[in-house]
Each structure stands twice: as structure tokens, then as C-alpha cells.
Amino acid sequence: TEVRKVLADFLKEDSEPALQKAAAWGLFSAATDDPQTYRALISTAKDSAAALPVREEALISLFAAMSHPDARDAVADLTQNTWPKSLRQIAILLLQAANQDNAIRKTLHDLANNDPDIDVRLAAIEALRPRLSEERIRYFHLSAYSGVFRDPLE
């Protein structure tokens, strides 16, 4: 749609970080079924030239895309120790949406047992839980109502 295109342009452009963060959140629900949208969010999250808060928001906004294997793989890559800690923690928490996948569970177990950073280990332990906590429901732009997304454009 036209709104999706405008938001994607804000995300890519050299605009104010607050606008880029808002654009990332605005693309949240579109990432559910549009590979181009979730790939743009992944690209932003991995872009070291982007402001860290923008990268974090782009990653948070990928929750709805975690049913796509290529999105899961990209997020799993962001759990590696080569990425900023805040991105690693968000990526790990995102993997909770796919923790029924054996490879994802193994990654989370490995992080929970072996990562040298206690905060990363705690995030992995949380991501192994079968259900999102109320705090994470709000954090990932989900409403408290069974699977209904808060649409930032409403």
C-alpha cells in the first residue's frame, strides 16, 4: 500500500531517528505477510550506520515476521557475540516466537548455558518460556488480546 511505501522510505532515508523509529513500528504489522517489509526491517537492524535506537526498533518490529524461516535465520544471526549487546538481547527475546523450532531451541539453550554475559543468558532463559510475559507482550507491540496487533497507524 501507499502508507507502507512511505514508511519504508522514512526507514531508509537519512531522516530524524525518531521518525525512523516510528516508521519501523509502523511497519510492524506489514512484516507479517510482506517479505520486502521484513527484509527492510532486518536490513535496518543490521545497518551499523543507523542509530542504535532505530536498529533496536526495527528488530522489535520483526516479531510478526518470526513465522518466516528467513526472518528467523536473520534474527538468529543477530544473537552472535559480534553484534551490540542490546541487539543481541532483542534478537534472543524475538526467538521466543519461534522456540518450538528445534534449531532455535538449541540456540537458546546454548546461549542460556554458555554465553559469558549474564544479561544475554537471562534473555535466553526468558525466550525458552512457552508464553510471552505481559511485559514482552507490550514490548513487542502486541495487545493483550489473543494475537491482535496494536496497529500504530490507528
Q: Which residue type is seen at 95?
A: L
CA gap 117, 15 in Å, rounded: 34
The pLDDT of residue 1 is above 60:
yes
pLDDT digits (tens, 9 = 90+) for 121-131: 999 999 999 88
Q: Which residue has the cell 543468558?
A: 121
CA gap 150, 80 in Å, rounded: 30
**Residue 141 pLDDT:** 75
The partner residues of 149 in beta bridges, in order of sequence, read 142
**Residue 11 pLDDT:** 77
In whole angstroms, what separates CA 22 from the centre of its chain? Answer: 14
CA gap 59, 94 in Å, rounded: 8
The pLDDT of residue 50 is above 50:
yes
pLDDT digits (tens, 9 = 90+) for 27-45: 888 888 888 889 999 999 9
**Residue 148 pLDDT:** 52
Q: Which residue has the cell 504489522?
A: 29
The pLDDT of residue 147 is above 70:
no
pLDDT digits (tens, 9 = 90+) for 54-86: 999 999 999 989 999 999 999 999 999 999 999
